[in-house]
Amino acid sequence: MTYPAVLNRAGQTSLIYAADNSGLFTCLDGTGKEVWHAQLKGPSSWSASVVCDLDGDGNFEVIQTDEAGTVWAFTAVTGKVLWQTKLKGIPVSPAVGDLDGDGKPEIVVATGNGVVTALSGSGQILWERNIGVSSQSWATSAPVIFAGSDGRGRVGAASSDGQFFCLDRKGDIMRQRPTREAVASTISVGDLDLDGRVDICLITQVGVIQRFDESGRVIW
C-alpha cells in the first residue's frame, strides 16, 4: 500500500527499498535479488522510504518509519542501523531536506496524533508542532520541506481537520489556511509558473485540488 524508493548507483545495479505490513524492510538490487533486510518494530503499511545523504559524506542512508512510532536510519548499502527515534503516534512517509540552511538535511515526519516533528540527521528531536486532530495512518498527510523565495527552509503540512500549515525552520506557524475538507495525500511543491516563488498543491479526500502560493494565497 506504499511505493518503493530507488538508489541509482553509477556503474552498479540500482538498489530498491520497501517495507511491508509485516514489518519487514527489504533492500533488493536491480535484478530482484535480496541484498539485505531488517525487521522493524511494527508494520509499515503506508510509509515510503527516503534515500538521502544525511552527513554529506557521499554515502547514502535510507529513512523508514513503522507503525510502532519509530523513525529508522539505515546505511543504504549494508542495512546497518544508524539510529532509531520514537515519536508520538504512527508516522507516515518522511520528508528530508536542509531546513535550517547548514548544508545538511533534516527529517520531518507527521504522525496520526496530529503532530509534526523535525529530527536532525543524527535522529535527535529538534521540535514538535501540534497541527490538528488525530487520524488513521492512511488519512495522515505526509509533509514536505521546501525553500521559499528568500532561500529559507519551510515545512508544508496539512491536518485531518482541513487546515494547511506553513511552518518555519523552528516549527513556528507562519501561515494557516483552511482546505476544502481533510487532506490525506502528500503535499507537492514546485514553481509552476516560473516566477521564482514556490507553488503548493494538495488534494483533499473529497477530490478537490487546491493551489496556494508561498504566501498562502489561494490561486485556485
pLDDT bin (cut points 50, 70, 90) of residue 27 is very high
> Do the beta carbons of residue 141 and residue 157 sit within 8 Å?
yes
pLDDT at 208: 92
The DSSP code for 31 is T
pLDDT at 107: 97
| Residue 3 pLDDT exceeds 90 | no
Closest Cα to residue 51, out of 21, 18, 92, 20? 18
Residue carrying C-alpha cell 544508524:
82
Provide the percentage of residues in the chain whose pLDDT is more than 90. 70
Radius of gyration of the chain (CA): 17
Burial class for 68, CB neighbours closer than 10 Å (0-12, 13-18, 19+) = middle
For residue 14, count other CB atoms closer than 10 A to its CB. 12
Q: pLDDT tens for residues 90-142?
A: 999 999 999 998 889 999 999 988 899 999 999 999 999 999 888 888 888 99
For residue 148, count other CB atoms closer than 10 A to its CB. 15
pLDDT at 144: 94
Q: pLDDT tens for residues 180-218?
A: 888 888 899 999 999 999 999 999 999 999 999 888 888
Residue carrying C-alpha cell 524492510:
25
> Do the beta carbons of residue 44 and residue 66 sit within 8 Å?
yes
pLDDT at 120: 95
| Residue 86 pLDDT exceeds 90 | yes
pLDDT at 172: 95
- The β-bridge relationship of strands 50-52 and 61-65 is antiparallel
pTM of the prediction?
A: 0.92
Burial class for 137, CB neighbours closer than 10 Å (0-12, 13-18, 19+) = buried
Contact residues for 40 (Cβ-Cβ < 8 A; gap 6+): 19, 23, 24, 25, 64, 66, 68, 70, 72
